Chains A and B, each alone.
Chain A
Amino acid sequence: MIKMLANIGKYFIMLGEIFRRPTKWRLMRNLIFKEIDELIIGSLGIVAFLSFFIGAVVTIQTALNLNNPIIPKYLIGFTARQSIILEFSPTFVSIIMAGRMGSYITSSIGTMRVTEQIDALEVMGINPLNYLVFPKLIASITYPFVIALSMFIGIFGGYIAGSLGGYLAPEEFVKGLQDDFQPFHVIYAFIKTAVFGFILATVPSFYGYYMEGGALEVGKASTKAFVWTSISIIICNYILTQMLLT
């Protein structure tokens, strides 16, 4: 428990350190673009794939459970939309990203620690936290774009599965999508996504930066990073939902 509290304190100190002694802008600009490419653009394929099929499955499951004839079919589209926008895209995809982005960040920074590359930066008078973590943090600002894409593709997957599977007519699915649409739900999803993006960039960085030992510990640090990133996302999801939707 004391170790956990010490780690939380260390994490917040690290957050402050990220902004000290900034790296030259002409170098930082390149690092930011590189991280956007690696973390955001590189994630689009897997996010699109998952979103399409999960959207399809959510629609089929809803259709199979709403088999009472007095319940209108367009509610299948309505339920798919709500599930995808409110929870699946922001939260579920972020937990998957904790595995993909998180393990990349922890292992890359952890390997730099093991091979003394971080020491080399320090000796040169460079703030390693600014050099390594700040670009990831800025790249994470574009993370809501990934989630917007996930929402779109998830709903599209639901539309395809619902109409091609014969569960409801395409017009009914679209009617369900438009029914009682509240724009604040999308805003709520993007607020969550921004917080999750911050967690995805910083928690794995923390575990990579402060790891000790050799190659084996890099693997262990990646696992720890995934676990704590997921836990942080789940807790923040609960707090934000309580704050914004009730």
Chain B
Amino acid sequence: MIEVKDLKKSFDDKEVLKGITTTYEAGKTNLIIGQSGSGKTVMLKTLLGVHLPDSGQILFDGRDFATLDPNEKRTLRTEMGMVFQGSALFDSMTVEENIGFPLKMFTNKTNAEIRDRVQEVIDRVELIDANKKMPSEISGGMQKRVAIARAIVNNPKYLFCDEPNSGLDPKTAIVIDELIQEITHEYNITTVINTHDMNSVLQIGEHICFLKDGKLVWEGTSKEIMVTDNEDIVDFVYSSELLREIRRFHSGKK
């Protein structure tokens, strides 16, 4: 579980996060949504410890990242997995080397043990015939699977995903969303996903945080988001004329 308490972050004079308080529970897919510039990326990077908060607390199962000593921080980082928007696979390594990298870095496993664990997660994310390929030789969807496999190989407690299905066709995007949700439930991981894809929101949004201008203006589930009267949410969800027409039709206003 990750607890965020009154989190504030500024860059120069611009306040990007304005006192956010929320809780991300384990075993749930927690989504951060909002328009571009709403503070989603800064929020995710602050959760990851890439940015230090100006004030407020981020508690990882009770551990405040900011007050941990370097060794404890390092341990906490090994409990995190991250899926980047562009996958961020190491292009000088093969698929299986990419996936095994965190194990080589942070565990004392033998090469055989690493190989076995890598094969286990490769099977779990259903990567077929890609072990020896370079990232540039596989499709965008497969790259995302490799990124997910690399993120979960060291059994993380916390999984962060930045726009995990950006650049993918709608069908592959759904498959990737479902894979992340399945893994979250299966391993009881606290998953935080940064997205502005409404398909993802409806598909896997078990807990949704809506940010606007650095403030948390709404929280709820994928079912609640479709029926809320919150104007900001309505404006965001029904951003296209087609969706607005459908909403009007369903609410009997037509």
Contacts and interface: CB of A to CB of B under 8 A. Distances in A.
Of A23, A27, A119, most buried by chain B (CB within 10 Å of CB) is: A119
Given A122-B50, A125-B78, A24 B105 contact: yes
Nearest to A30: B104
A119 B50 contact: yes
B82 A123 contact: yes
A13 interface: no
Nearest to B160: A123
B85 interface: yes
B74 A119 contact: no
A115 interface: yes
B85 A115 contact: no
Interface in A6-25: 21, 23-24
A116 B85 contact: yes
Interface string A36-57: 0000000000000000000000
Centre residue among A24, A120, A122 by max chain B CB count within 10 A: A120
B69 interface: no
B90 A124 contact: no
Contacts of A116: 84-86, 88
B105 A120 contact: no
Contacts of A126: 105
A120 B84 contact: yes
A125 B77 contact: yes
A218 to B, nearest CB: 13
A121 to B, nearest CB: 9
A241 interface: no
A122 B82 CA distance: 11
A123 B86 contact: no
Interface in A172-205: none
A120 B104 contact: no
A112 B59 CA distance: 31
Nearest to A126: B105
Contacts of B74: 21, 125
Contacts of A24: 104-105
Given A123-B80, A125-B73, A125-B77, A23 B88 contact: no
A111 to B, nearest CB: 8
Task: Give the size category of B's interface with A.
Answer: 20 to 34
A124 B105 contact: yes
How extensive is the interface on chain A, given as a class?
10 to 19
B84 A119 contact: yes
B175 to A, nearest CB: 22
Nearest to B85: A116
A115 B91 contact: yes
A124 B91 contact: no
A27 B104 contact: yes
Contacts of A27: 104-105
A61 interface: no
Given A115-B86, A117-B88, A125-B77, A23 B50 contact: no
A133 to B, nearest CB: 15
B56 interface: no
B77 A124 contact: yes
Contacts of B49: 123
B102 interface: yes
From B48, B70, B78, B82, residue with most partner A Cβ within 10 Å: B82
B82 A120 contact: yes
Interface in B86-143: 86, 88-91, 101-102, 104-106
Contacts of A112: 90
Contacts of A123: 48-50, 77, 80, 82, 160
Contact of B90 (A26, A117, A119, A122): A117
B88 A115 contact: yes
Contacts of A120: 82, 84, 88, 90
Contacts of B88: 115-117, 119-120
Contacts of B80: 123
30 contacts: A21-B70, A21-B74, A24-B104, A24-B105, A26-B104, A27-B104, A111-B91, A112-B90, A115-B86, A115-B88, A115-B91, A116-B84, A116-B85, A116-B86, A117-B88, A117-B89, A117-B91, A119-B50, A119-B84, A120-B88, A123-B49, A123-B50, A123-B77, A123-B80, A123-B82, A124-B82, A124-B102, A125-B73, A125-B77, A125-B106
Enumerate the 8 nearest inter-chain pairs by beta-carbon distance, A residue then B residue, closest first: A125-B77, A116-B88, A120-B88, A123-B82, A116-B84, A125-B74, A117-B88, A123-B48
Given A119-B88, A125-B77, 8 more contacts: A24-B104, A27-B105, A111-B91, A112-B90, A116-B85, A124-B101, A125-B73, A125-B106
